[in-house]
């Protein structure tokens, strides 16, 4: 994706979402845009990537976002899960901690917390 496309997409999606999620697909179904996002394979805070093994995704969640040019918008979000190699514990990113960090706005953190609890 070139810089112009990246900028345009980042303006249409919740602020900061592209830091943690990859846009995988967009579908138009009648009067609704389906925007598919998958969490990037970036180790959660406190872990090294080599200590983790990606174990796919939690079930996809669909949420409504602001309309774009008269089209309803549904964000289809898949959060990643990892196994800690030494303990076999399943972990996922703690969105409360991310929200407190500098790379994400409080609005986006609250947005994700509302989706995933």
pLDDT digits (tens, 9 = 90+) for 49-68: 899 999 999 999 888 888 88
Nearest Cα to Cα of residue 48 among 102, 84, 87, 98: 84
Tens digit of each residue's pLDDT, the chain (117 residues): 789 988 888 888 887 888 889 999 999 988 899 999 999 999 988 888 899 999 999 999 888 888 888 888 888 989 999 999 999 999 988 765 444 443 444 565 666 666 665
Contact by Cβ (8 Å): 112, 19: no
Q: What would you measure as the largest C-alpha separation in the chain, in angstroms?
A: 50
Residue 91, Cβ density class (10 Å: 0-12 exposed, 13-18 middle, ≥19 buried): middle
Cβ-based neighbours of 48, under 8 Å, separated by 6 or more: none
């Amino acid at each position: 994706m070139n810089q112009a496309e990246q900028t345009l997409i980042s303006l249409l999606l919740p602020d900061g979402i592209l830091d943690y999620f990859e846009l995988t697909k967009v579908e138009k179904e009648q009067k609704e845009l389906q925007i598919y996002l998958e969490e990037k394979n970036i180790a959660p805070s406190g872990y090294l990537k080599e200590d983790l093994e990606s174990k796919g995704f939690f079930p996809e969640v669909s949420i409504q976002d602001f309309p774009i040019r008269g089209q309803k918008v549904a964000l289809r979000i898949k959060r990643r899960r990892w196994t800690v190699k030494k303990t076999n514990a399943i972990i996922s990113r703690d969105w409360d901690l991310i929200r407190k960090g500098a790379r994400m706005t409080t609005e986006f953190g609250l947005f994700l917390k509302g989706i995933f609890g």
